[in-house]
Amino acid sequence: MSILNEFSLVGKTALVTGCKRGIGKAMAIGLAEAGADIVGVSATLERKGSEIEKEILALGRKFKAYTCDFSERKALYRFIQEVKSDFPVIDILVNNAGTILRAPAVEHTDAYWDKVIEVNQNAQFILSREIGKDMVSRGNGKIVFTASLLTFQGGITVPGYAASKGA
């Protein structure tokens, strides 16, 4: 028996936010390689035929795509209702979605700040709370958050991003 069997995710469903590219895409692929079926969401993810869908299906796993702009609170709640209806059991939630808006700190507008905090912090909390309720009632589940080195380094043009990823 391989040690990898100890880490098998066969029969598990993972919801990965920001899965269209970058770290989210890599995490979705890694979870699928371990056996999980993937529920993917991104602000610009195609409902059918996306690159990530093709890669997950090629691994022999299931994939369902959703589009949601996490800066829109009502859209987030609609997405949560839809995904919970479609997938009553979500075993793993990967909070990876994020946005970054650049401007020198003294020119960083309230609108920039609010949008970045809404996507990177508020939406992640709301998703964790709403998906987490079911995990708690079942007695199992995993929630993963991605952060950023900018949390530690800061950045003169990314105050909202650095603050939100470090919260």
pLDDT tens digit sequence for 45-100: 999 999 999 999 999 999 999 999 999 999 999 999 999 999 999 999 999 999 98
When divided into structural domains, the chain yields a total of: 1
Q: What is the pLDDT of residue 153?
A: 72
Question: What is the bridge-based pairing of β-strands 13-17 and 92-95?
Answer: parallel
CATH number at residue 113: 3.40.50.720
Distant-in-sequence contacts of 85-90, Cβ < 8 A, 24+ apart? 86/39, 87/13, 87/15, 87/39, 88/134, 89/13, 89/134, 89/138, 90/13, 90/14, 90/15, 90/39, 90/131, 90/134, 90/135, 90/141
pLDDT digits (tens, 9 = 90+) for 28-49: 999 999 999 999 999 999 999 9
Is the pLDDT higher at 70 or at 165? 70
Residue 30 is which amino acid?
G
Host domain of residue 95: 3-166
Mean pLDDT of the chain: 94
Strand partners, 38: 14, 63
Predicted model pTM: 0.93
Q: What is the pLDDT of residue 138?
A: 97
Do residues 95 and 17 lie in contact, with contact meaning Cβ atoms separated by under 8 Å?
yes
Residues acting as catalytic residues: 161
In 34-158, which ranges are continuous DSSP H helix? 51-58, 73-86, 110-117, 123-138, 150-153
Residue identified by tokens 């993972």 is 14
Predicted confidence band of residue 1 (pLDDT cuts 50, 70, 90): low
